[in-house]
């Protein structure tokens, strides 16, 4: 029986992944620092659902605390580590850069050290579509260079990929970095567009529509993201030692290291996304159109061919169905009168 550690277990993706693994009877140890970047009560509500499972063990732990992580490592051993703990948010990284160095760099270093001491079979960690930065080739592919990030958040995520490669090469730790594309769904993050727009409509508030609405995103429903992660967990890591170093793409290595996109593989205009919320409630959202924010990219679009070909990944939740599922949850969780 595999013993899995999930960091950021009370976060959006961490909660959903923990829940499906627990339902399958797999033992999960979750850690989280329950920080106040967004509503802590939402995190506690997720955690309360996970704690109903007998095969779940939770530890309040900040992965950027060297001493506490080292003490934790002495008491635990894991087959698989999935690092989803991070300081998220592009705009917040401009205002609070030190939080990203602590959580995303120092914290990830501690996870790499924990992986080394545990001799893990596989370390999976969250990267981000934001690493593509100024890349203007569409769709974004793992074979593209990612040398021009435009936010500190993106820079920390690219750093994670490089740090993982170092440990994969030196210590033969199999690592997989997953570049998530705009994840949404029930129990989502309040700082994300769908949540903010819905809250504004319900409270009759004005939303800020940046880049004058000329945004497009590869919105990916949470269930498709989770299925992608599960396919990676269940697929043995390939022996890359025979790869020709001269022919390697930026996402390949002779070390046991790989980078994968996970997205819907479909661009959706932001205004169409907003319209799907308005259609659900039968009400228009008040809008203020503003210029492009620093650190934001106008468009994202995910090339999912590698995940599809190698892992049978097949995202199947449409934007309409996904948005409606989120809104059903929002209405119930916040007791909204329709």
Closest CA to 306 of 143, 79, 105, 92: 143
- Residues in Cβ contact with 134 at an 8 Å cutoff, skipping those fewer than 6 apart: 148, 150, 297
**Token digits of residue 37:** 């970047």
**Token digits of residue 294:** 């620093």
**Token digits of residue 118:** 């545990």
Torsional sign, CA 220, 222, 223, 229:
positive
Q: What are phi and psi of 122, to 5 degrees?
A: -165, 130
Cα(324)–Cα(327) distance, integer angstroms: 5
Q: How are beta strands 216-217 and 268-269 bridged, if at all?
A: antiparallel
Closest CA to 168 of 262, 84, 80, 240: 240
Look up residue 302 and give its DSSP letter.
B
Cα(31)–Cα(4) distance, integer angstroms: 11
- To the query of whether residue 153 is one of the catalytic residues in this protein, the response is yes
Cα(252)–Cα(216) distance, integer angstroms: 28
From the number of C-beta atoms within 10 Å of its C-beta (0-12, 13-18, 19+), residue 234 rates as exposed
Instruction: Go through 40-65 and write b for each residue having 16 or more CB atoms within 10 A of its CB, e for each that does not.
Output: eebbeebbeebeebeebbbeebbbbb
Choose, from 92, 153, 184, 313, the residue flagged as catalytic: 153
- As annotated, the active-site residues are 153
């Amino acid at each position: 029986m595999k013993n899995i550690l999930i960091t950021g277990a009370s976060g959006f993706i961490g909660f959903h992944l923990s829940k499906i693994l627990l339902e399958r009877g797999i033992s999960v140890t979750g850690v989280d620092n329950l920080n106040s970047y967004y509503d802590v009560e939402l995190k506690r509500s997720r955690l309360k659902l996970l704690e109903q499972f007998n095969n779940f063990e939770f530890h309040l732990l900040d992965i950027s605390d060297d001493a506490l992580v080292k003490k934790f490592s002495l008491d635990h051993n894991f087959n698989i580590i999935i690092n989803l703990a991070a300081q998220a948010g592009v705009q917040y990284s401009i205002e609070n850069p030190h939080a990203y160095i602590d959580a995303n760099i120092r914290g990830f270093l501690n996870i790499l050290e924990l992986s080394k001491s545990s001799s893990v079979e596989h370390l999976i960690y969250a990267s981000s579509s934001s690493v593509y930065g100024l890349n203007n080739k569409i769709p974004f592919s793992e074979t593209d260079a990612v040398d021009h990030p435009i936010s500190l958040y993106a820079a920390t995520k690219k750093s994670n990929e490089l740090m993982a490669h170092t440990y994969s090469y030196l210590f033969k730790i199999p690592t997989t970095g997953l570049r998530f594309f705009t994840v949404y769904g029930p129990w989502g993050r309040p700082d994300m567009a769908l949540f903010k727009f819905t809250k504004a409509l319900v409270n009759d508030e004005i939303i800020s529509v940046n880049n004058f609405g000329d945004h497009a995103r590869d919105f990916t429903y949470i269930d498709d993201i989770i299925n992608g992660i599960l396919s990676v967990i269940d697929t043995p890591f390939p022996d890359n030692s025979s790869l020709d170093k001269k022919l390697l793409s930026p996402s390949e290595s002779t070390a046991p290291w790989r980078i994968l996109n996970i997205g819907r593989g479909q661009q959706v205009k932001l205004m169409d996304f907003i319209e799907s919320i308005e259609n659900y409630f039968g009400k228009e959202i008040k809008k203020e159109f503003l210029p492009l924010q620093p650190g934001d990219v106008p468009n994202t679009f995910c090339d999912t061919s590698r995940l599809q070909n190698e892992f049978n990944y097949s995202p199947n939740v449409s934007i309409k169905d996904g948005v409606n599922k989120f809104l059903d949850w929002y209405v119930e969780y916040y007791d909204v009168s329709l």
